[in-house]
Amino acid sequence: MNTILDNGCVMPVQTSQAKTETYRRIPKVELHRHLEGSLRLGTLFDLARTYSVTLPLVNDLEKLVQVQGSDPLTFTNFLSKFQTLRRFFLSPEVIQRITHEAVVDAAEDGIQHLELRFTPVALSRSQDFLLSSVMDWVCSSAAQAAQERHISVRLIASVNRHEPPELAAEVAHLAAERIPQGLVGLDLAGNEAEFDAQPFARIFQEARQAGLSITIHAGEWGGAANVRQAIEVLGAVRIGHGIRVLEDPAVVELARQRGTVFEVCLTSNYQSGVVPSMVDHPLLAMIQAGLRATLNTDDPGISSITLSDEYRLACDMLGLPLVTLHSCILEAAEAAFLEPLERKLLVSQLRMALRGRVIL
């Protein structure tokens, strides 16, 4: 289908599918994606059959693991999906398979550099696997898939605020031992509304000294003070979400001075009730305030999205200019938890690939 413009030119009108395909072709960087929130629905059905996972009704599976249109838009509803997902981590093969599939799905979506975070405690809980074993399975499967699909992948170990700091300390220690295997960062996630990060301060300071890079979920379900705490106390160089930073100009200034990078996740923010509607999302305001913002998915399986969808949402719904989208991609590459030379190479490859892509 074509549109005739006032000047007589004929402009092709893209179908929705064609539009998403156009965004898929843009080379992308993903800094914030949870493995446990990235499972394919088809894989879950398959696993439910193979392992006889008893669910109230198999037909309910979709409702239990994906945010539905009729769901309450709250963080408790969003986090509740992980409770069902935890029941599927039943064997080393399952953990290897979901890791492999997460990398394959990222590659299929045109992601060139993926930082995949995973929660060893969540993966080990149902079968009492050793944390060290779970971490080894994820490291080796991610490396294999990355090699097969020719994409760059690094891993981030995630610990939850609402779980015991003693477990977090163990995960941090095991993560630092696996830096040579590509496990390069430590993240604090979970229930920010009800749990303070202070009990985790020493663990994160020591992890940083051990060579891990730090990213913290903050300013999502809690206020700007949590972003300050993440930067000043926990040593975060990146903030997961952080969109509520705008509530305090002093914290905006701190983040600007430090060059803190924000891992913004549009759909997740809407589905977990951080923003009342998508058009109210402050992504553009953050960029205008001089903050370094990147675009990410958070939990693509739970939200039923791809990173291409999020790029499209930012441009079509929020009015992000294409050149600014390109800047966000380069910002993400500059903030990647890579060795300096690897990072420089990624940035220059992306700069070349994006150059001249003025038209989608």
The site for ligand ADE (CB under 6 A) is made up of: 34, 37, 189-190, 217, 220, 268, 272, 298-299
Comparing CB distances to ligand ADE, the nearer of 298 and 334 is 298
Name the token pair of 217.
């979920």
Which residues pair with residue 85 across a beta bridge?
Answer: none
User: Residue 358 phi/psi, 5° resolution?
Assistant: -70, -40
Q: Judged by CB, which is closer to ligand ADE: 226, or 272?
A: 272
- Closer of 217 and 326 to ligand ADE (Cβ): 217
Region near Zn ion per CB under 5 A, out of 13-21, 170-178, 270-278, 294-302:
294-302
Compute the least distance from the CB of residue 352 to Zn ion, in Å. Answer: 30
If the CB atoms of residues 302 and 347 are measured against Zn ion, the closer one turns out to be 302
37 binds, among ligand ADE, Zn ion, none (CB under 5 to 8 A by kind): ligand ADE
Q: Which residue number has the CB closest to Zn ion?
A: 298
Q: Does 298 bind Zn ion (CB under 5 A)?
A: yes
Q: Which stretch binds Zn ion (CB under 5 A): 79-87, 237-245, 306-314, 321-329?
A: 237-245
Instruction: Give the torsion sign (CA, 90, 92, 93, 95).
Output: positive
Tell me the CA distances in angstroms from 187 to 9, 31, 156, 332, one per residue in order: 51, 12, 7, 17
Q: What is the DSSP string of 96-135?
A: HHHHHHHHHHHHHTTEEEEEEEE-HHHHHHTTT--HHHHH
185 vs 72, 115, 118, 158, CA distance in Å? 32, 9, 11, 8
166 CB-near residues (< 8 Å, 6+ apart): none
Comparison of 283 and 347: residue with beta carbon closer to ligand ADE: 283
Listed in sequence order, the residues at least 6 apart from 19 whose beta carbon sits closer than 8 Å to its beta carbon are 312, 316
CB 324 within 8 A of CB 285: no
Indicate the burial class of 116 (C-beta count within 10 angstroms; 0-12, 13-18, 19 or more).
buried
Please say which residue, 109 or 263, places its beta carbon nearer to ligand ADE.
263
- Alpha carbon distances (Å) from 329 to 52, 88, 264, 292, 347: 42, 33, 12, 11, 9
Shortest distance (Å) from residue 76 CB to Zn ion: 15
Shortest distance in whole angstroms from residue 203 CB to ligand ADE: 17
User: Minimum distance from CB of 298 to ligand ADE (Å)?
Assistant: 5
Catalytic residue among 220, 310, 331, 334: 220
Determine the size of the site formed for Zn ion (CB under 5 A).
Answer: 2
- CB 159 to ligand ADE: min, Å: 10
Per-residue burial over 208-222, b = 16 or more CB atoms within 10 Å of its CB, e = otherwise: beeebbbbbbbbbbb
Instruction: Residue 220: name its binding partner from Zn ion, ligand ADE, none (Cβ under 5 to 8 Å by kind).
Output: ligand ADE
Residue nearest to ligand ADE (CB): 189
220 given a catalytic annotation: yes
From the list Zn ion, ligand ADE, none, pick the one residue 242 interacts with, judged by a Cβ distance below 5 to 8 Å according to partner type.
Answer: none
User: Running DSSP on this structure, what letter comes out for residue 26?
Assistant: S
Active site residue ranges: 220
Q: Can you give the binding site for Zn ion, defined by CB under 5 A?
A: 240, 298
